Amino acid sequence: MKLLAICLGRPEKLPGKSFKTGIYKSAVNAAVMIDSLGLVGDAVCNTKHHGGEDQAILLEGSLTLDWWAAELGRDLAPGTFGENLIVEGLDNRDVAVGDRFHIGEVVLEATCARSPCNTLAVKMGDPKFLKTYMSAARPGIYCRVIKPGTVSAGEPARHELYAGERVTIAEMLAAVGKNLSEAERARFLGAPIGRRWRPVFET
């Protein structure tokens, strides 16, 4: 397993919109510094819903992106989904909250699922893409930075499983809007989920 790509974005306007977004990302060849807020130099325009210490990095597994490419019938360049990092040999469905990724000197911890928004649908050129994304049950993985440092594409990556009770990233997204039992709610809140997601399961 290795880091396949690092993707950075600059603020750009969505077609037909007045606001800017950082979802348009592309791979870079140089080493990039990761601090507590993510990749240094990466654009985060909507700080209400994106970015912050618990959503510092959006990570995708190459196996999941391969699945999407087959599903959509086209090649997907790195950064197509607005992801920051692509880990070779990883399936997003195998990742749970609290899992850690060791990439060179950097350590990341999975915190929550990527919840699709209209910006992603516009980026993908499909107004129905949010439904497609939810049905696929392979959401992107937001991570917090446990140990900052510099990363380069091609570096070895290691997936360390969370030692506590596992709540998968896909399970988190599927639970939104559902009536959870007290036991399920306690299990979700017992995991180190991101702060924006905690209210979803607290009420």
Q: Which domains does the chain have, with CATH numbers?
A: 3-202 (2.40.33.20)
* Structure confidence by residue, pLDDT tens digits, 116-149: 878 888 888 888 999 999 999 999 999 999 999 9
Candidates 1, 2, 21, 10; CA nearest to 117 is: 21
Residue-level pLDDT at 46: 64
CA dist 168 and 147 (Å) reads 22
CA dist 25 and 35 (Å) reads 18
Residue-level pLDDT at 47: 61
CA dist 77 and 67 (Å) reads 13
Both tokens of residue 136? Answer: 């696929």
Calculated CA dihedral for residues 73, 4, 45, 139, nearest 10 degrees: 50
Greater pLDDT, 188 or 47 = 188
Q: Which of 20-29, 119-128, 175-184 has the highest mean pLDDT?
A: 175-184
Residue-level pLDDT at 31: 95
CA dist 37 and 3 (Å) reads 19
Both tokens of residue 148? Answer: 């900052």
Residue-level pLDDT at 162: 97
Beta bridge partners of 156: 2
Encode 32-54: b = buried (16+ Cβ within 10 Å), e = exposed.
Answer: bebeebbbeebbbbeeeebbbeb
**pTM of the predicted protein model:** 0.91
Average pLDDT value for residue range 177-187: 90
pLDDT band at residue 55 under the 50/70/90 scheme: very high
Greater pLDDT, 22 or 169 = 169
Residue-level pLDDT at 24: 81
Residue 60 has pLDDT above 60, yes or no: yes
- Let me know: does 149 contact 105? Beta carbons within 8 Å: yes
